[in-house]
Structure 1
Amino acid sequence: MVAGAVGLDDAQEAGGTGELDDVTLVSRARDGDAHAYEQLVLRHQGPIFRLAVRMLGSRADAEDVTQEVFVGVWQRLGQLRDDAAFTGWLYRAATNRCLNTLRSRRPVADDEADQLPDRGPVGKPEREAETSAQLAALRSALRGLTPQQRACWLLREVHGRSYEEIARALGVTSATVRGRIARARAQLAEVMSPWR
């Protein structure tokens, strides 16, 4: 019997790692359980990818960032002091990787950002066209924010992170986060006012 198979059988007897909470999976992954880490990746890769795609405006860059984040977190998992802090640590790694990517590349072209998937309602062509135009306007407005404002706004409004979690992820104060979000909201409200 293969050593990896023994660990998997034990996990299945205990109810399977798919049913375990993040804290237990992180603890097992830190002890070298690759299957536990795989479950963490499966659980969190969607939200991290969506954050990256919205921050970067490019599916290809978002895929690269997502992969780099999960590989890097796996390599540094032993440095995590509190297993319960895993999700915040993951968002911090993803946000920082996105900000570094934005600093190091050319601005996103309009046609590249417009390739992001639209998930508007299906039905009447007029409604689909209006929804598509709204989403294009929002993507454009998001590109108009500074990378730091975009990160704060996305983490708060799309991913539901608290001000304190965002502050820890970005290495700033909660007051700074609140200010960036307020400026982002004001700028987005102004740009999106024709759609109200």
Structure 2
Amino acid sequence: MELARRGDEDAFAALVRSHQDQLYRVALRMTGSPSDAQDVVQETLLQAWEHLPAFRGESGFSTWVTRILINRCRNLHRARRPVGPLPEGDQPAPGMPHSPAADTLAVTAQSRDAVRRALLALPLDQRAPLVLTTFAGYTFAETGRILGIGESAAKVRAHRARRALATTLQEWR
């Protein structure tokens, strides 16, 4: 970390390699789009590199860079308000044979898609704590630091998000 702060590109590249997959997973769940997630991660890493000399080390690099990522996701969300429903999954071609395994896979894919759409329907202040704690494995304390809120606020927002997600999924049944 210290070498990267002093401008060592190889040291920064090592940090990127160890964090990029986690950042992408968070960005994908926050944006719902692989291309947007890639863009957000790229912008995040560029911003991290540019501001690395100012990193004070009061939190871990992972917490700091994830906070940048969440802020980039918020900026993207503000720039692109959803204008309509998300597209539904592909429908099977008429006349294609079905099997029990294919039906099970289709139900699983539909369930995953429903969770993805319900997650994206959550307000960002609820989606972020849920994604960070449930999908990215951060503690509530780390989530609070990433989002600039207290640990208890992170717990409350994640709990509200889980309830809203369950309600939305129940309504869609």
Q: Report the TM-score range of the alignment, normalised by the length of the smaller protein.
A: 0.7 to 0.9
**Separation in 1 of the partners of 2:104 and 2:171?**
16
**Separation in 2 of the partners of 1:54 and 1:37?**
25
> Are positions 1:45 and 2:25 aligned together?
no
One-letter identity of the residue aligned with 2:161: A
CA contact (8 A) 1:73 1:90 kept: yes
Equivalent residue number for residue 136 of structure 1: 113
**Separation in 2 of the partners of 1:61 and 1:184?**
22
1:146-184 deviations in Å (ceiling 9; x for gaps): 011111100000011111111111111222211111111
> Are positions 1:178 and 2:155 aligned together?
yes
**Separation in 1 of the partners of 2:147 and 2:89?**
27
> Are positions 1:153 and 2:134 aligned together?
no
CA contact (8 A) 1:99 1:148 kept: no
Give 5+ residue unaligned stretches, structure 1: 1-25, 116-122
TM-score by length of 2: 0.85
Runs of 4+ residues deviating >6 angstroms = none
Secondary structure, in 3 states, of the residue corresponding to 1:160? coil
Higher relative contact order (CA 8 A, sep 6+): 2
1:78 to 49, 53, 62: 53
**Separation in 1 of the partners of 2:170 and 2:82?**
25
CA contact (8 A) 1:27 1:83 kept: no
Equivalent residue number for residue 169 of structure 2: 192
One-letter identity of the residue aligned with 1:174: E
Instruction: State, as a whole percentage, how many aligned pairs show the same letter.
Output: 36
**Separation in 2 of the partners of 1:33 and 1:144?**
41
TM-score by length of 1: 0.76
Give 5+ residue unaligned stretches, structure 2: 91-99
